[in-house]
Amino acid sequence: MGENINLVRALINCAEKAANIARLCRSNEELLALLVQEKTGAEANERFEHDFKTLADVLIQETIKHEVGELFPAMRDAIQGEESPNFTNKLGDKVTIVVGDTEDETSACLGAVLGDHKAAANALAAGVHQKVVYHNDKLGDIPELPADIDYSNLGIWIDPIDATAEYISGDTIFTNFPGITSTGLDCVTVLIGVYERDSGIPVMGVVAQPFGNKLEELVYSSSLYWGICLPTVQAHNCNFGPREDQRRGQIGIFSSSEDSKILQRFLDLKYELAFSAGAGHKALKVISNDANVYMLSKGSTFRWDTCAPQAILRALGGDVLDYATSVAEQRAVPIKYLAPDANQMVSDSDWKRNANGLIAVRDFETLKELLPKLKAD
């Protein structure tokens, strides 16, 4: 079935449906508060004192898994995401979020989480089952994929709402850098990345900003970017020109928790430092030429954070690299998405983590002076 449908087009439509669901949930503060549940234990990100998942996160993830699995059954068992589909309702009942074959089935499942809020369950179910075809004058021409592509060798990593804390709070803080927001809804992204299971190489990616364009108060439309990097097909819609402010030199973008010694090495190279939320958003700033490099020395991102932007950067001639290995070997060593061997004793969370940190670049020339400086004692 899938060979008659362009996978990238299908993922773009899924990303826009995800954005619609995210906007629907975010448009009503009471509904948003209702949907939030704190992550605990192994699900929580150690970088944050509190970490949250939302029903929007889980619903988006399960919607994408359901739709792609229906269209490309050979991929169904290799579609993974950040969130556990399990919720606990107010009565203490554990509910697994499942997208049904019909709107009524999905509404009934959501109703088990939302209790008396039947209107909210119905509205969310309608969003899940709505037919969405994304059109935008910046989408570009999506090329045909190779006829012999082996869908059974492709896997997907989904981050349904990256920067969940920003999504919940909505508070915006701007930086002094054009195009770079420190916190806020602009930092929220939907990330869908496709990789080859045998090589671990990302080959297709879609990054959507559900709140990329503010049309009026509380009304937004998406900004959406895609890339393909296959041996015979390389394409993208990321035709960004030079940075708006040409007076500035190199710009590095970082998490606010980055090690001060690392930051000083960038300052020594005359970089200006920008700080922003969301791994997907920071990678997108490199894709869009608003920053020259995104670097994280800690192992606090995961495969779902990097697979989609890495595929796009590869289509642009860049990549997302393993920070520790690239610095130690003084060469570009890309992050790969290989599952552990059956004999490897690796915990579920550890093999999904980018344990060695990352360096995202659009231009490999950036690494010539950067890698030696990062290795300096």
What domains does the chain contain, in order, with CATH numbers?
A: 2-236 (3.30.540.10), 251-375 (3.40.190.80)
Closest Cα partner for 219 from 26, 1, 14, 70?
26
Angle at CA of residue 209, ends 208 and 213, nearest 5°: 130
Task: Tell me how long the chain is.
Answer: 377
Cα diameter, the chain:
62
Given phi > 0 = left and psi -120 to 50 = alpha, else beta, which region is 110? alpha
pTM over 0.85: yes
Distances 24 to 32, 280, 333 between C-alpha atoms, Å: 9, 21, 40
Q: Are 155 and 130 in contact (CB under 8 A)?
A: no
CB-based burial, 352-364: b 16+ in 10 Å, e otherwise: bbbebbbbbbbee
pLDDT in tens, the chain (377 residues): 455 689 999 999 999 999 999 998 888 766 666 666 544 455 544 443 333 456 788 889 999 999 999 999 999 999 999 888 887 766 777 889 899 999 999 999 988 888 778 888 898 899 999 999 999 999 999 999 999 999 999 999 999 999 888 888 888 888 989 889 999 999 999 999 999 999 999 999 999 999 999 998 889 999 999 999 999 999 999 999 877 665 568 999 999 999 999 999 999 999 999 999 999 999 999 999 999 999 999 999 999 999 999 999 999 999 999 999 999 999 999 999 998 876 666 666 678 999 999 999 999 999 999 999 999 76
331 CB burial (10 A radius; 0-12, 13-18, 19+): exposed
CB-based burial, 251-284: b 16+ in 10 Å, e otherwise: bbbbbeebeeebbebbeeeebbbbbbbbbbbbbb
Distances 285 to 42, 190, 210, 354 between C-alpha atoms, Å: 30, 15, 16, 19
Distances 70 to 154, 171, 190 between C-alpha atoms, Å: 15, 37, 20
Q: Look at strands 202-216 and 189-196 and give their pairing.
A: antiparallel
Dihedrals phi, psi of 325, to nearest 5 degrees: -70, -40
Which residues, 6+ apart, have CB-to-CB distance to 197 below 8 Å? 78, 153, 154, 155, 339
Distances 305 to 2, 136, 188, 205, 252 between C-alpha atoms, Å: 25, 25, 12, 11, 18
The DSSP code for 266 is: H
Structure tokens at 333: 């060593």
| Residues forming a β-bridge with 296 | 358
Residues tagged active-site:
57, 82, 159, 161-162, 164, 305
- Other C-beta atoms closer than 10 Å to the C-beta of 218 total 12
Structure tokens at 193: 């990345």
